[in-house]
Amino acid sequence: MVISRVTQSMLSDRSMSRLQSSLTRMGEIQEHLSTGRVLNRASDNPGDAATAMRLRAAVNAQQQYARNAEDGQGWLDSLDSTLGTAGDVVRRARELGSQGVNGAMSQQSRESLAVEVDQIRTGLLASANTSYVGRPVFGGTTAGSKAFTETAGVVTFAGDTNPVNRTVADGVTIDVSSSGPAAFGPDGDNVFDHLTALSAALRSGDTAGIQAGISALSGDGDRLVVARAGVGARTNAIEAAATKAGDTELSLTNSLSEIENADLPKTLMDLKMQETAYQAALAATARVLQPSLVDFLR
């Protein structure tokens, strides 16, 4: 049987080492309380730190999706409002044309109707050039400031038909634009041409021309309704995506909090227990480090 010899020096070294460990642990708990976090550096818990980094990246992604959805919602709201107004004024132009078909109407009265049609055309052109954050909503990805331009009384499309996509979820993109020609008609046969023709027919009293204008505007109105319905469907989709992004962000944030944040009541209890243990260790060490016989013989 081998008996190990324990010296006063060994007892002192072990006691001091345990005291230091206890003090270090108490310092860690105090740091958790002061910062409110159990993860203050990667070395605190490498595994949890790696998980927290992945969660934080996922949270940032969801926040970006939410911002994209908010921007897309702005585009779609502008489109919906503009298409609604355009549909109303085209309907008004048809009503004016219907009034002008009356053969008993005086030239002065037809002139008044034509003037109002001209005003409708001017207002509709301004609506077709509606912009959101400096970009024409019917112009696609064009760098220009207008979707439609007018030269010598003829309105033509100046943008492009490329989609304006917003990524609102992983692998999910939504086109938040509406093609100018799809909403207002192709060059040479658009709603502006039809309004011009109707105005001229009203001034000249051309009943056949007025009826042709009314028919053409009926098609323009239908086209605007279809375009607005498409905007409504995409609005619903982007609202759903925004809600999902917000819910996912909240869930990820809660998971991140569980990993990073300290449970304050539990941490306070741990600190009290550690303080008690440290005080007990100090008392025990004081007894171990009492003067030895050699000290008394000096």
DSSP states of 54-123: HHHHHHHHHHHHHHHHHHHHHHHHHHHHHHHHHHHHHHHHHHHHHHHT-TT--HHHHHHHHHHHHHHHHH
pLDDT given at position 23? 65
Token look-up 């279809």 returns 226
Measured distance CA(98)–CA(105) in Å, rounded: 12
**pLDDT under 70 in the chain at which residues?**
1-17, 19, 22-23, 26-36, 38-44, 103, 260-264, 267-268, 270-271, 274, 277-278, 281, 283-298
Residue closest to 249 by CA, chosen among 165, 166, 168: 168
**How is residue 7 written in tokens?**
């010296």
Burial class (CB in 10 A: 0-12, 13-18, 19+), 91: middle
What pTM was computed for the model? 0.75
Q: Which residues of 17-52 are buried (b: 16+ CB within 10 A; e: fewer)?
A: eeeeebeeebeebeebeeeebbbbeeeeeeeebebb
pLDDT given at position 250? 92
pLDDT given at position 296? 47
Residue 114 backbone phi and psi in degrees, to 5: -65, -40
Residue type, 37: R
Rg (CA), the chain: 39
Give the CATH architecture of domain 54-255: Up-down Bundle (1.20)
SS3 call for 26: helix
